[in-house]
């Protein structure tokens, strides 16, 4: 974080300062801000956030022992550290992030990129960061830090030397993206797609469209909306951009895309295509598995090109990315039995993309095995969407369909209804049962996809399988 005095921080947060030791109003702090006491180091700022399972105020002493210089709390605690008491610790995070980013932007050349979409946010964020970090100091989220706590924590890592801030904006309800993006008013806003992810929380696909379009509405006047021309709902955000006085830069595979991919070919070693921007075309080989990641790469290139990075540099840096993120199309195992662990998140769109990738990368004499768990946050759409996945797995000719957990059972039932009667589809209540079956069932030449939402916990099953067949 940038250097600020205790008095300045107190003013920004509208709190009450209680100094400790030799501290005064003018004492300056500039360390990292975090809500996890285990990540606190000397000079850092600990935010005691009440949680559903525990209370950050119980860990102030641990933060102090690790060297915390300041605690932001909702009630004063008996600890030997200066404290600022606020009404709401999460709101205080947002207020401090707005102040820090605004100060750095006002003093220098900080450019801010916001990314949202029903799928692909984290991968795209990582690809954008990989391109931009060679241009200057770039701040981007760890993992999927995209909510009311994670997004401000990322923003607070900005320093006076930061040139780019890449923010990922997720949401489980309307208004969240507007609040988060409104803290920084991005210069560029990427909308990847509008799908069924979180549809249960939003109340349907049209409500999801409205939520994702909040990023376009939050862009700084004169900025750029980077939109997926192949998704009709994303393309429909162009009039919103015009109302806000921002340009549109289109990416996609259609002929009207300003950043376009042609001749896409998917293999077990990645995806090849020809990328075209402004009359220039170059071949690109993405090591990240999955045809759907081409769109994420195009979005990243669009951002970087708009920021002045040459296309050749974009392609070179993207080709060096071996893994977008742990548990996202992560290759494990060996050439003998390849495990693809993609069980960090799942939606109907990402599930379909992963299954298609499995079918595309499996060659003659090899066998496709899909290990599937539930997709969360679909609400009233859960039954029909799980049915669709079971149907798609059969239509794609997946040779073994292993479904795990009661919430995902409809995938198994639909696969059975479509004719998978001869052990092609099998159901297990637990991941441990499925593991025991798979260890005995998998054979040389198998290509195995493990796919589910985070809540199903199958990412750990994927890790176990990867170790077993390494």
Binding residues for ATP are 117-123
Q: Kindly tell me the burial class for residue 188, based on how many C-beta atoms sit within 10 Å of its own C-beta (0-12, 13-18, 19 or more).
A: buried
> Is the distance from CB of 288 to CB of 329 less than 8 angstroms?
yes
> Is the distance from CB of 194 to CB of 116 less than 8 angstroms?
no
Q: Kindly tell me the burial class for residue 73, based on how many C-beta atoms sit within 10 Å of its own C-beta (0-12, 13-18, 19 or more).
A: buried
5 beta partners: 28
Tokens of 128: 């954008």
Give the H or E element holding residue 228. strand 224-228
Strands (E), 232-269: 247-252, 259-267
171 three-class SS: coil
Classify strands 164-168 and 224-228 as parallel, antiparallel or unpaired: unpaired
DSSP string, 408-456: GHHHHHHHHHTT-TTTTEEEESSHHHHHHHHHHH--TTEEEEEE--GGG
Tokens of 25: 């109003």
**Cα angle value 74/77/78 (rounded, 5°):** 170
340 three-class SS: strand
Annotated binding site: 117-123
> Is the distance from CB of 75 to CB of 85 less than 8 angstroms?
yes
In degrees and rounded to multiples of 5, residue 113 shows phi and psi of: -115, 125
Question: Of 65, 73, 14, whose CA–CA distance to 40 is shortest?
Answer: 65
Centre a 10 Å sphere on the Cβ of residue 272 and count the other Cβ atoms it contains.
Answer: 16
Distance CA 452, CA 345 (A): 6
Centre a 10 Å sphere on the Cβ of residue 231 and count the other Cβ atoms it contains.
Answer: 21
């Amino acid at each position: 974080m940038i250097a600020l005095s205790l008095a300045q921080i107190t003013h920004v947060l509208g709190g009450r300062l209680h100094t400790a030791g030799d501290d005064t109003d003018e004492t300056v702090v500039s360390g990292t801000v975090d809500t996890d006491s285990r990540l606190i180091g000397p000079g850092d700022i600990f935010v005691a956030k009440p949680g559903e399972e525990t209370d950050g105020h119980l860990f102030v002493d641990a933060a102090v022992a690790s060297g915390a210089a300041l605690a932001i709390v909702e009630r004063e605690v008996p600890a030997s550290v200066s404290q600022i008491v606020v009404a709401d610790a999460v709101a205080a995070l947002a207020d401090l992030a707005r102040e820090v980013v605004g100060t750095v932007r006002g003093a220098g050349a900080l450019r801010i990129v916001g990314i949202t979409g029903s799928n692909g946010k984290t991968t795209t964020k990582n690809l954008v960061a990989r391109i931009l970090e060679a241009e200057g100091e770039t701040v981007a989220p760890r993992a999927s830090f995209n909510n009311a706590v994670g997004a401000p924590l990322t923003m607070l890592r900005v320093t006076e030397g930061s040139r780019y801030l890449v923010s990922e904006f997720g949401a489980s309800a309307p208004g969240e993206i507007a609040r988060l993006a409104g803290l920084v008013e991005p210069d560029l806003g990427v909308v990847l797609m509008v799908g069924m992810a979180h549809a249960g929380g939003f109340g349907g696909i049209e409500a999801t469209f409205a939520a994702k379009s909040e990023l376009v509405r939050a862009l700084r006047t004169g900025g750029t909306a980077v939109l997926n021309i192949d998704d009709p709902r994303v393309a429909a955000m162009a009039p919103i951009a015009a109302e806000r006085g921002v340009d549109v830069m289109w990416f996609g595979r259609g002929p009207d895309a300003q950043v376009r991919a042609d001749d896409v070919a998917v293999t077990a070693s990645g995806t090849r295509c020809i990328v075209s921007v402004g009359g220039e075309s170059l071949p690109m080989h993405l090591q990240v598995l999955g045809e759907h990641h081409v769109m994420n790469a195009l979005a990243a290139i669009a951002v970087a090109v708009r920021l002045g990075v040459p296309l050749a540099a974009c392609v070179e840096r993207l080709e060096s990315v071996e893994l977008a993120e742990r548990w996202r199309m992560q290759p494990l195992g060996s050439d003998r039995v390849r495990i693809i662990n993609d069980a960090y998140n799942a939606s109907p769109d990402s599930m379909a993309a992963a299954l298609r990738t499995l079918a595309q990368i499996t060659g003659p004499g090899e066998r496709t095995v899909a290990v599937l768990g539930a997709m969360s946050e679909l609400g009233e759409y859960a039954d029909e969407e799980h049915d669709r996945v079971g149907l798609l797995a059969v239509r794609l000719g997946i040779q073994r369909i292993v479904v795990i957990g009661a919430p995902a059972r409809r995938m198994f039932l639909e696969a059975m209804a479509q004719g998978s009667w001869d052990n092609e589809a099998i159901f297990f209540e637990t991941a441990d049962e499925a593991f025991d079956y798979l260890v005995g069932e998998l054979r040389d030449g198998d290509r195995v996809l493990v796919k589910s939402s985070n809540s199903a916990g199958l990412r750990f099953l994927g890790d176990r399988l990867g170790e077993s067949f390494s």
